[in-house]
Structure 1
Amino acid sequence: MKIGYVRVSTPEQNTLRQEVLMEQLGVEQIYVDRMSGKDTQRPQLQKMMEFVRRGDTVVVESISRFARNTRDLLELVERLRQKEVGFVSQKEAIDTATPAGQFMLTVFAAVAQLERDYILQRQREGIQLARAQGKYAGRRPMEAPGLERVAHQWREGELSAVQAAKKLGMSRATFYRRVKDLQPEK
């Protein structure tokens, strides 16, 4: 049985292009996730991994749709191999049923990881440069009306940090950070 796995990074993105490809390739069942591929904790991916049986083949449009880093990709494909399930990536023309396909999978996984790392590095460098030029200041601090009053209540032991943070609508870590930024009480 051919089983397709389709993934887009956000719920707003369209899966139609990948689903049409799956239909053209004769895929009989499709699992679709609409979330980041940063890890393997994706509901439909997990269901598919449980569903596949000996002799099945998992088909993806590209390896980046299946996994975003080398380790996750190779671990997922190894789990498939242990179940005697094949893996095919259409874009990279990879089929793990052949020794050459297994080799190419490893090479493409490493290249995809390198590309992702380069993208993140360029992004960090761009932000650093923009900051140096005064064009990027990061996220604006959230408004916290009543912070001083709530911080005073917290310091006096009238509120716990959890209660104070909840009252201000922020996380406990943000509360601690914002209190630290306040001038110390006299």
Structure 2
Amino acid sequence: MKFGYARVSTDAQSLDRQLDALSKYGVDEILQEKMTGTKQSRPELDRLIDKMREGDTVVIESLSRLGRSTKDLLSLVELFNERGVTLVSLKENIDISTPTGKLLVTVLSALCQFERDLTVQRTNEGLTAARARGRKGGRPPIDKKTIEKALKLHDAKAMSVSEICEVCNISQGTLYKAINERKEKEIENGEKQTRFKHIDPSSSVPD
């Protein structure tokens, strides 16, 4: 299945150019929305993520139509890779399943790490200055029960990702991270159980 995704920042802008490009590429379905990329809620993108399956292709007119920032774009690219979904950007002529596309992911990852390092440095400098003035700072940790609640809502499939994040007061990145961490634990536990089942009782050493 080939999905097209189109977005503009305001109601005054037209989606026609993007829709024409996606139709010319030959997508099977186009999901479109008009809202600023800085807003956390993007219901059509959430719907696209829910619909896509392994082997599908997501086509966009340009990378700027998908991500709000380098970090957000990389998070989505990694999600597509984990789901076995190919991302194609027409303007940049990029397919993340090709060597050039994989290089892009590497560059995005490096940029994100650079941005994170700068953020950490600035945060630490700010905290140091605040402590010198007798103040404490830092973001409060997310409660484990909140993450569990968000995962249960996601499993129920009754709400979109943006709605879950709004209800639980967490970011989409936090939710996707929790989903991926849970999946990794399930895979790890499954491997352990498989190894346990294959242990031959007769091979155990008697007391």
TM range, normalised to the smaller chain?
A: 0.5 to 0.7
Partner of 2:72: 72
TM-superposed CA distance for 1:103, in Å, is 1.2
TM-superposed CA distance for 1:33, in Å, is 1.3
TM-superposed CA distance for 1:102, in Å, is 1.8
TM-score normalized by the length of structure 2:
0.50
CA distance in 1 between partners of 2:12 and 2:74 (Å): 28
CA distance in 2 between partners of 1:10 and 1:27 (Å): 24
SS in 2 for 1:48: helix
Partner of 1:31: 31
Partner of 1:134: none
Asked whether the equivalents of residues 74 and 106 of structure 1 are also in contact (C-alpha less than 8 Å), the reply is: no
Asked whether the equivalents of residues 80 and 87 of structure 1 are also in contact (C-alpha less than 8 Å), the reply is: yes
CA distance in 2 between partners of 1:107 and 1:17 (Å): 28
Tell me how many residue pairs correspond in the alignment. 112
Q: Which amino acid aligns with 2:14?
A: N
- Is 1:17 paired with 2:17? yes
SS in 2 for 1:59: strand
Unaligned runs of at least 5 residues, structure 1: 115-186
Task: Decide whether aligned partners of structure 1 residues 40 and 56 sit closer, same or farther in structure 2, where only a CA change above 3 A counts.
Answer: farther
CA distance in 1 between partners of 2:101 and 2:81 (Å): 13
SS in 1 for 2:76: helix
What percent identity do the matched residue pairs reach?
A: 44
TM-superposed CA distance for 1:99, in Å, is 2.8
Unaligned runs of at least 5 residues, structure 2: 116-207
SS in 2 for 1:6: strand
RMSD: 2.1
CA distance in 2 between partners of 1:4 and 1:20 (Å): 11
Partner of 2:88: 88
Aligned 1:3-152 pairs, distance under 5 A: 3-107=3-107, 110=111
1:95-140 alpha-carbon deviations (Å, 9 max, x no partner):
0112321212454795xxx9xxxxxxxxxxxxxxxxxxxxxxxxxx
TM-score normalized by the length of structure 1:
0.56
Larger radius of gyration: 1
Task: Flag as ranges the 4+ runs of structure 1 deviating above 4 A.
Answer: none
CA distance in 1 between partners of 2:103 and 2:39 (Å): 23
Task: Decide whether aligned partners of structure 1 residues 79 and 48 sit closer, same or farther in structure 2, where only a CA change above 3 A counts.
Answer: same
